[in-house]
Structures are given as structure tokens and as C-alpha cells.
Amino acid sequence: MGSTTILNRPQAASALSASPKVVKNNKSLASSSAAPLTYGCNHIEKPLQGPTEGNKMRVLYGSATRVALDSSRAHAQTCEKCKFLITRTFLCMQCPSIYCPKDAEAHYKEKNHRFGIDSRSGHVYCFPCQDFIYDPALEKIRVEKEVAMEGGARKRRRLDDIKPSPEDLKYIESNTTLAPCRATGLRGFLNMGSTCFMSVVLQSLIHNPLVRNFYLADGHKPKECAQANCMSCAMEEVFSEFFATDKTDGFGPVNLLTTSWKCEQTLAGYQQQDAHEYLQFLLNQLHATNGGNTDTKTEQCKCIIHRAFYGNLQSDVTCEGCQNVTTAVDPVMDLSLDLRKKDKRKLATPKTEGDGAMQTLQECLERFTSTEKLGMNEYNCENCSGHQEVATKQLTVKRLPPVLCIQLKRFEHGSTKSSKIDTKIRFPMQLDMAPYTTRAKRKAKDGSTDCGPKSSLKGHGPYLYDLLSVVVHTGQINSGHYINFSRENGQWFRFDDSVVTLATEKDVLSAKAYLLFYIIRSLT
């Protein structure tokens, strides 16, 4: 329950990663442990502090800013490497080079020139941060160059209008805390008494880019929220702690835990809970507290939870007497897959590592979407009189969600006892969901083969998923422990309560997964 341990934390490598969020509060920085805002980020602080390098960078920045703000200078919009004339380029702040965003990234990696100047505005972009930064000294140079290029009698008045007043500076200081470059969400949770089930679910959401970007973009505003016991307000607090403060010690989400207790009495107390059940509870609460519709069958819900997690499952029941097909389409937030193979009326135990080839996730999905016979009196055909003894049922995925959550049903609860299926299921880093869709199954019945298992690998983006997070349950059913593997900027990490360690793909793929989170490779 001590400090979070992080091994070999990688640099941020993708511009798609969410930027650190500026958190407004009622405390002045003077009373905070954080230092006053002096430099744009940690990376630019050291070079600007050096008398020689700092002066050189300021001169280069002033010259580059003048070029960037002059709309008549077309060469500022031309990449030196690819020679394309585009609307946005970066002027290197450490050498006289101009590149498009892609080549500017390559230039940074090759020369370690970390800062570029946006040719459209003159603002500074930090490549290690993967974000634009605000540096007071450089911003003053930019504003002065901008005003000087306007000329005329309005020059001095224009400069005075742009400069923040003492009141503005005081307001900024009292309502802003530092959002350092190192705040990347790599932080653990304190175990507050068998709360690992909650920690692993939260880690899966924190490293989900759709959910993360929603909260970091003020998708939910606690100051404007009037809801009592709002789970979304508690979730926003977690994101603020993970992405807006430079802390690496374990965080105790007390507010989220107690709010969970108030919203669901069965969660109250410190007994171990099921991670899948808590995930469903949390997603339903976030749906309700983010403007979600109460009746999603008549109107499509536009809340972040439905947009990210919800798909449609189609059920087709066919009467073998008259071939009448009864179809129902229902919304689902996850797929729950059986691990036991059905052989007529007997359940056969899945193969384990010692029994030869182990089961795969694809085999479980194939069983889930295969045709099964219904028992006597389980189906009443509308076209036939009386109950039909012979009917078949098939489930298929009608619409895939951007984030696909899969539960591997490891826990079995009987009337007298409960047990856990501890066998390993092999799952892939990339999952092709095309074979399990309604369209593919219909084509298979018609004898067509153009939607086979390899179809999405040829460019069908809506069916191809990448592994994002894995939740693992270790130990016995009543005394086990949950851990999480999540991917951040292309690197895997292992989250075990407050301890965060570097992981490899082999570590992830060898885990006995309970919950799998896949994210769509392309949204187009």
C-alpha cells in the first residue's frame, strides 16, 4: 500500500494520446506544493535556463515566429523533405528546418530537436509532450512579433490589449495547477480492503482512449452537476488525479468507493466482489449520470458509454417444422462466453495445458454464435399449432461496438457450491470479429465465402480489433485477487493495486484472462 513502483516508463509516442488536463480549483498556488508556472514544460525548462542555449533559442524562435506569421511567405508552408505545400508545418526551434508534421516527428527522433513552431500560429509544440505548450517568455516574443507585423497607429494599443492584466494573471494563478508532462495515467490504486475488483475495472477505463478523452475534455463538469451521489463526478475526480498531477504514489478512490456503496447496497462493505458485475454497475451508472436515455429501444442513446461500449446482438429462432424465423435484436455492453463445451446434454471440461491444444478465444466465439437446438416446449411457433419440439437458435453480432468487452465465464454457481474454471484460454493481440457477425453467418448459410476469417485483414477496418486491457483473477473463487494488464502508448503495463510494472506481450498473452477489452482499429 506504499508508493507506486513504475519500471522503465516509456516516452509518449502518439499525438492521439490525451493531453494533460488543467484542473481548476479554489486553492492558490502560493499555498500549494507546486512551483509557480515559469516554463511551458519540463523539457523546455533546462535549455531556456542556459544563458547561451537559451538566448539562441529565443532568437531562433523570434525569427521563426516572424516567418510563420507572414502569410505571404509560402516557403514556411513547404516541407523540406517531402516538398509538399501544405497548410500546416513545423519550423524547428533549434535549427533552420521546416517539416510537415510526420517529417517533423522523424526529425525530432533523429536530431533530438524537441520543439517545433506551428506555421499557422507561431505557437510552440513539444514533441516529447506530444502537445502544444504555453511558455510566458516565448509567448511574449510571439505577441510582440505579431503586433509589430501589423504596424500602424494601433500597434501599441493592440499590444496592450493582448497582454493579460494583473487581475487576469491573479485569476490564472489562483485557478490553475500544473499539468506536467509526466502525468500519463501510469499510477496504481491503494487497496482499501478487498477493492482490487474496482481497481482493475478503473484501470481499464483510464487507459481506454474514448472514455479518457471524454473526461479530459470536460465531458462531465462536476461544478455544474446537481445530481446526488453522482458516479460520473467521482470518476472525473479519478481522471483529474491521474492526468493533472505529478504523483506516482497509489491513489485511494474513497469518493468513488463510497458513492458506489450509496448507489448499490450490495457493494457496501469490504467483501470481495465480482469485477464483471462491478463493470456492468459502473457503466450503467456512468450512462445514467451523463445524460443517458432511459428508453434506449425507442431512441438511440448518445452518451459516452453507449457510443463506446454498446453493440447489438441478434437472436434468430427457426422452427424446423415450417421454417418460420423469429428475430430479436437487443443491445449488449459485453459478450459472455462459456468455457465448457456442450456435447448433447453433457458438459465436457475444457482442455487444459496438459491435455494438448488449449481452447482459443475464437473457438469460444464460434460456439457462442453457432446454431443450437432448443429443448422441448422452449419455443412456441406462431405459424404452427401448439409447442414445437424441434427448433434451433442462433446468436450473432448485429452491430459491433468501438470497444468490445468479453467475459470468459470462469465462475459457476450452483445450489450447493460455487467453483472456478481455471483453465487457460488463448487469446490474440488482434481479433477479427467478421466471422461472428450476422452478415457473415448469413453468407455462410447461403454458401458464400467472401466474408471469411481473413476478410478484415484485407482492409475491413470495422471488424478488426486490437487488445487494450486484460483483467485476471488469481487464486480461489472466494479468496482470490484481481490484477490488470493495460496498454499505454504501445507499451504494456501490469497493475497490481498500487504497484505498476512494465510488462511484455508474452506476459499478457500467458495470463488466464477473465475480462478482455478490445478496441476497434479504425472508426471509419
Nearest 5°: CA angle at 437, between 434 and 440? 75
Residue 251: closest CA among 178, 177, 186: 186
Helix, coil or strand: residue 205: helix
Q: Pairing between strand 372-373 and 131-133?
A: unpaired
Distance CA 372, CA 162 (A): 71
Distance CA 343, CA 356 (A): 19
Q: What pLDDT score does 251 carry?
A: 92
Q: How far is CA 93 from the centre of its chain?
A: 32
Distance CA 473, CA 411 (A): 10
Q: What pLDDT score does 319 carry?
A: 83
Distance CA 204, CA 193 (A): 20
Helix, coil or strand: residue 217: coil
Contact 127/108 with Cβ under 8 angstroms? yes
Distance CA 55, CA 34 (A): 27
Cell numbers at 40, concatenated: 511551458
Q: Which amino acid is at 444?
A: A
Determine which helix (DSSP H) or strand (DSSP E) holds 440, and give its type and residue range.
helix 438-445
Instruction: Write down the domain spans for the chain.
Output: 42-164, 195-296
Backbone angles phi, psi at 268, to 5 degrees: -65, 140
Q: What pLDDT score does 154 carry?
A: 44
399 Cβ partners below 8 Å, 6+ apart? 311, 312
Distance CA 185, CA 10 (A): 12
Contact 303/211 with Cβ under 8 angstroms? no
Question: Which pTM was predicted?
Answer: 0.65
Q: What pLDDT score does 87 carry?
A: 60
Q: Pairing between strand 491-496 and 346-348?
A: unpaired
The dotted CATH code for 42-164 is 3.30.40.10
Distance CA 469, CA 43 (A): 30
**Could you tell me how many residues make up the chain?**
524
Residue 349 DSSP label: P
Residue 343: closest CA among 372, 376, 377, 375: 372
Q: What pLDDT score does 203 carry?
A: 97
Burial label for 205, CB within 10 Å (0-12, 13-18, 19+), is buried
Residue 72 DSSP label: T
Nearest 5°: CA angle at 77, between 76 and 83? 105
Distance CA 126, CA 116 (A): 7
Largest CA distance in the chain: 93
Contact 408/364 with Cβ under 8 angstroms? yes
Contact 134/20 with Cβ under 8 angstroms? no
Contact 54/141 with Cβ under 8 angstroms? no
Helix, coil or strand: residue 82: coil
Nearest 5°: CA angle at 320, between 317 and 325? 35
Distance CA 524, CA 521 (A): 9
Per-residue pLDDT tens digits of the chain, which is 524 residues long = 444 444 443 333 333 333 334 443 333 333 333 334 466 788 888 888 888 888 888 888 888 777 766 655 555 667 888 766 556 788 888 888 888 888 899 999 999 888 888 887 788 898 988 888 878 888 888 878 777 766 544 444 445 555 667 787 777 777 765 545 556 788 999 999 889 999 999 999 999 999 999 999 989 999 999 999 999 999 999 999 998 877 778 899 999 999 999 999 888 888 889 999 999 999 999 999 998 777 656 677 889 999 999 999 999 988 887 888 889 999 999 999 998 766 533 444 544 444 445 789 999 999 999 998 887 667 777 777 655 568 889 999 999 999 999 999 998 877 777 788 888 999 999 999 999 999 988 888 776 655 444 444 344 567 899 999 999 999 988 788 999 999 988 889 999 999 999 899 999 999 999 999 999 988 75
Distance CA 499, CA 393 (A): 46
Distance CA 49, CA 349 (A): 67
Catalytic residues: 196, 481
DSSP states of 373-433 = E--TTS---SSSSS--S-EEEEEEEEE--SEEEEEEE-EEE-SS-EEE-----B--SEEE-
Residue 249 DSSP label: B
Distances (CA, A) of 490 to 237, 287, 309, 310, 430: 26, 29, 22, 25, 14
